[in-house]
Structure 1
Amino acid sequence: MWNDDLTWALGVLCVDLFLAVIAISAFRYLQGILSGVDTTAELSKKDNFAFGISFAGGALSLALIIAAAVNGEPADSLLTEGLNVAMYALLGIVLLKVGTLVNDRVIFHQLSLKQHIDRENLAAGIVQGGNFVALGLVIQSSIQWVETESWDGLIPVILVFFSAQILLLAVTRLRAGIYQRRHQGHPFQEALGKGNSALAIRYAGHILAVALGVDASAQVVTYLPETPWLSALYWFAVSLGMALMISWLAWMARKVILKGINIVEEVDDQQNVGVASIEAVIFIAIAIILNPLMSMMDALR
C-alpha cells in the first residue's frame, strides 16, 4: 500500500514538474514573439539584463500559479491532474500577458515598458518583473481561496485578477503623485524612462507588498460559490484597506528605520539602490507581518 502511494505521488510530481517546465518555456517564447525579439539573442548576445529580469519575474509568477494549482489533494487520475494543472498554467500565461498589456498601456500610459526593455532600460525591467511577481501572488492566492481546481474556479480567479489591476493602478498613481509633489511636477514615469533603477526597486517593493496584502485579505473573506461576484467585491474592499494600511505603516516605519537619511535625495536624485532596497523591504516586511495577524483575526471570528 505504501509503495503504491509513493508511486502515485511520484507520478503526480513528474507530471506537475513537466508541465511547469513546459509552461515557463512557453512563456519565454511567447514573450519573445509578442515583443518581436529573439529571446536567445536578448539573453545571451545582447546581455539584456532588463529583459532577463522581466522574464525571471514572469517565470517566478508562473511557478507560484502552478504551485497553487497542485496544492491540496491530487486528482483521481494522472490525466485529470495534468489537465487541471495545464488549465491553470495556460490561464496564468494568458493573465500575465493581459497584465503586461494593462501595465504598458494603462498603468504606465506615459512610458512604454516594452520599448524601454528592448532598449535595455534596467528600471523598466525591474518594474515589469515586479508586476509579474505581484500578479503571480494574487493569482496564486485566488486559486487557493476558491479551493477548487476545476473549471468552476476560473471566473473568481479572473475577477480577482482584474481587481488587483485596479489596486496596482492606484499604487502607481500614488507613487507618481508623491514623486511629482517632491519634484515640482516632473513625471514619475519620465524618471523611470531615464533609467532610475532605485525608483523602480522601491516601486516594485510597494506593489509586492500590496500583492501580499491581497493574499492576507483572502484569510478574512470567505468565498461563496453561489455569489462569486459579491465574494470578489468583498475581497477587493478588504484588499484596498490592506493596501492603505501597508502604505501608512511603511511610511511610519521608514521614518524610524531610515532616520537621518534624506530619502528624496538618495533615491530620487542620487539613484541610491541600497536605500531604495531598504525601502522596498520595509514595505514587504510590513505586509509579511500583517499576514499572520489577519489569520488571527479570522480565527477569532
Structure 2
Amino acid sequence: MNTLFEITGLNLDLIIYLTIDISIAIALLGAMKVVSGISAQVNSTDELSKEDNFAFGISVAGSVAALGIVLTGAITGENAESYTMEAIGMLTYGVLGLILIKIGRVIHDRVALNHLNKNEQIKARNISIGLVDAASTIATAIIIRAVLLWVHGLDIGTFIAIISGFIVSQAMLVLVTRIKEYQYAKNNQNDSLQEALENGHVALGIRYAGQVISTALAVTAASYFLTYNPETLWTSLLAWLIFSIVMTILVSLLTTIAKYLILWGINLVEEVDHQSNIGVASVEMAISISIALILTGLMA
C-alpha cells in the first residue's frame, strides 16, 4: 500500500478530501433532479420513466451536466485547512451554483425567450424547447465555472464577484438571443424564432444550442486576461463585459467563415430554417462550439 501511495502521489489525507468532494457532488447532482421536477411542477421519476417525456429528460440532463460543470470550478485541487472546511467550501459553492443555475433558467425564460412558456412546452414534450433549456443551462454553468476558477477565497467579495459574473453572463445570453431572433426574422419574412421553437422546430433548437454554448465559451476567455483583485473588482467586471462582447463578435465572425467553408454549397437557411434538417443543424452546432473552444484555448 505504501508503495502504491509513493507511485501515485496519493496519501490518506488526499483520499479523504476526494471522498468528501465526490460524496457532496453526487448528493448535489441527485438534488438537481429533484429540483428540476419541483421547478416543472412534476414528479421527476414519473415524468422520466412512466410518462417517457423525452423533452423533460433532455432538460434534466442539461441541469445535471450544468451542475457538474459548476462543481469542477469548486474543486480547485487545493485542499482546505480541515475536512470540515473542505466540506463547507464544496457544499457552499455547489449550492450557490445550483441556485444560480435555476435563477439563470428563470431569467432565460422570462427575458431571453419571453414569448413562450418553457415549462408548459417541456411538459407538452416539445423536444426543441428541451434542447434550448438544456443548452442555456449549460451555457450559464460554463460561465459560473470560469468565475469560480477566477476568484479565490470564501468571503463576501468572492460572492459579489460570482454573482456579478453571473449577471454579465445572463446579459450576454439575452443579447445573443435578440441578435439570433433578428437574423431569423430577416431570413424568414419576419417570422418569429420563438414561435418556431414553440412549434417544435428541432433543427432550430440544435442550432440555437450551439450558439448559446459558444457564446458562453467566448465569455470565459476574459478570465485568462484579468487578475482577480477585490479592490478593483468593479473595474475588472466592466473589463470582463467589454472583453466578452469583443470575443462574442470574434467567435461569431470566425464561425460564419468556418460554416461557409465547411458547409460549402449548402443553403443553411433553406436546409435548417425551412426543411428542419437536423443533420445540417448538428454540424452547425459542432462548428460553433469548436470555433469557440479553439479560440478560448488559444487565449489560454
TM range (shorter): over 0.9
Contact 1:212/1:288, CA 8 A, preserved across alignment: yes
Q: Measure, in 2, the Cα distance between the counterparts of 1:293 and 1:65.
A: 22
Report what 1:299 is aligned to: none
Q: Measure, in 2, the Cα distance between the counterparts of 1:207 and 1:22.
A: 28
- Of 47, 52, 57 in structure 1, the residue corresponding to residue 52 of structure 2 is 47
- Of 63, 68, 91 in structure 2, the residue corresponding to residue 58 of structure 1 is 63
Q: Measure, in 2, the Cα distance between the counterparts of 1:239 and 1:26.
A: 32
Contact 2:181/2:193, CA 8 A, preserved across alignment: yes
Consecutive unaligned residues in structure 2, runs of 5 or more? none
Q: SS where residue 185 of structure 1 aligns?
A: coil
Q: SS where residue 205 of structure 2 aligns?
A: helix
Q: Measure, in 2, the Cα distance between the counterparts of 1:97 and 1:221.
A: 27
Q: Measure, in 2, the Cα distance between the counterparts of 1:199 and 1:221.
A: 35
Deviations 1:134-161 (A, max 9, x none): 1111000000011335554211011011
- Of 110, 117, 138 in structure 2, the residue corresponding to residue 112 of structure 1 is 117
Q: SS where residue 71 of structure 1 aligns?
A: coil
Q: SS where residue 21 of structure 2 aligns?
A: helix
- Confirm whether residue 292 of structure 1 aligns to residue 297 of structure 2: yes
Percent identity over the alignment is 38
Deviations 1:49-75 (A, max 9, x none): 111111111111111111111113110
Report what 1:142 is aligned to: 147
Deviations 1:31-54 (A, max 9, x none): 211221010111001111111111
- Confirm whether residue 281 of structure 1 aligns to residue 277 of structure 2: no
Report what 1:201 is aligned to: 206
1:99 Cα shift? 0.8
1:293 Cα shift? 2.3
- Of 179, 182, 185 in structure 2, the residue corresponding to residue 174 of structure 1 is 179
Report what 2:226 is aligned to: 221
Q: Measure, in 2, the Cα distance between the counterparts of 1:126 and 1:292.
A: 26
Q: Measure, in 1, the Cα distance between the counterparts of 2:278 and 2:174.
A: 23
- Confirm whether residue 96 of structure 1 aligns to residue 134 of structure 2: no
Q: Give the 3 Å change call, closer, same or farther, for CA 5–265 of structure 1 in structure 2.
A: closer
Amino acid of the residue matched to residue 52 of structure 2?
Answer: D
Report what 2:240 is aligned to: 235
| Structure 1 residue runs of 4 or more that deviate by more than 6 Å after TM superposition | none
Q: CA RMSD in A?
A: 1.5
Contact 1:69/1:149, CA 8 A, preserved across alignment: no
Q: SS where residue 230 of structure 2 aligns?
A: coil
1:93 Cα shift? 1.0
Q: Measure, in 2, the Cα distance between the counterparts of 1:147 and 1:287.
A: 26
Q: Measure, in 2, the Cα distance between the counterparts of 1:173 and 1:264.
A: 18
Q: SS where residue 77 of structure 2 aligns?
A: coil
Q: Measure, in 2, the Cα distance between the counterparts of 1:157 and 1:245.
A: 25
Q: SS where residue 68 of structure 1 aligns?
A: helix
Amino acid of the residue matched to residue 296 of structure 2?
Answer: N
- Confirm whether residue 8 of structure 1 aligns to residue 36 of structure 2: no
Matches within 5 A, 1:61-76: 61-76=66-81
Q: Measure, in 2, the Cα distance between the counterparts of 1:60 and 1:158.
A: 20
1:9 Cα shift? 1.1
Deviations 1:70-104 (A, max 9, x none): 11311011110010010011101110111111011
TM-score computed with the length of structure 2 as normaliser? 0.95
Contact 2:36/2:63, CA 8 A, preserved across alignment: no
Report what 2:134 is aligned to: 129
1:228 Cα shift? 1.6
- Confirm whether residue 192 of structure 1 aligns to residue 188 of structure 2: no
Q: SS where residue 271 of structure 1 aligns?
A: coil
Deviations 1:150-182 (A, max 9, x none): 554211011011111010011111111111011
Report what 1:84 is aligned to: 89
Amino acid of the residue matched to residue 33 of structure 2?
Answer: R
Deviations 1:3-46 (A, max 9, x none): 89611111111111111111111111112112210101110011
